[in-house]
Amino acid sequence: MVNRFIGALWHRLRGPLQWRVMWLAHATFMVGVTGVVRDDEGRVLLLHHRLWRKDTPWGLPTGYARRGETFEQTVVREVKEETDLDVTPGPLVRLTSGYRLRAEAAYEARLSGGTLRLDPREILDAGWYAPDQLPEGLIASHRELILGVTAEQGTAVTRAGRRA
């Protein structure tokens, strides 16, 4: 009887009110998006992040998706904001969750233009690195992601639960 009542009530709510109830009842996540950006020589773009831990300041371009933005658009925007480079997003290579309030998606991306100009508020240095010559201080999860993607010379979707 209670289930019937709840079902009838749910059907009467409709539209925006149903979405509001669902939003309040379920976990809400921020989505971090990472780009494995490669140039025509297969080198990977790495950034020395100003705000990251001192022992692991190097990593891939990364940032949070904005409301209404696709994850591919986030990759393009974050790379542009941090480096002024233009990229073309490729396939999804990793999707993880299990963090408190965050899910993470990583995409391959190809350099398509622009001139490297760093945003000094976020980025101290940048460089193009061959996968077998990655710098010290690179965050371990990004090293793993780079090696997985480049080993396949394409997409390498990794199992869930591992950090990107």
Per-residue tens of pLDDT for the chain, all 164 residues = 666 777 777 677 777 877 777 777 766 778 999 999 999 999 999 999 988 888 889 999 999 999 899 999 999 999 999 999 999 999 999 998 876 778 899 999 999 999 999 999 999 999 999 999 999 999 999 999 999 887 765 444 444 433 33
pLDDT of residue 160: 41
pLDDT for position 79: 98
Q: What is the pLDDT of residue 27?
A: 67
> How long, in residues, is the chain?
164
Burial annotation 44-83 (CB, 10 A radius, 16+ → b, else e):
bbbbbbeebeeebbbbbbbbebeeeeebbebbbbbbeebb
CATH superfamily of 28-151: Nucleoside Triphosphate Pyrophosphohydrolase (3.90.79.10)
**Other Cβ atoms within 10 Å of 30 Cβ, number:** 12
**126 within 8 A of 47, measured Cβ to Cβ:** yes
Report the pLDDT value the prediction gives residue 155, as an integer from 0 to 100.
42
Rounded to two decimals, the pTM is 0.78
Rounded Cα distance, 91 and 19, in Å: 30
Residues in a beta bridge with 125:
48
Q: What is the pLDDT of residue 29?
A: 75
Residue 33: which of 85, 107, 125 has the closest Cα? 107
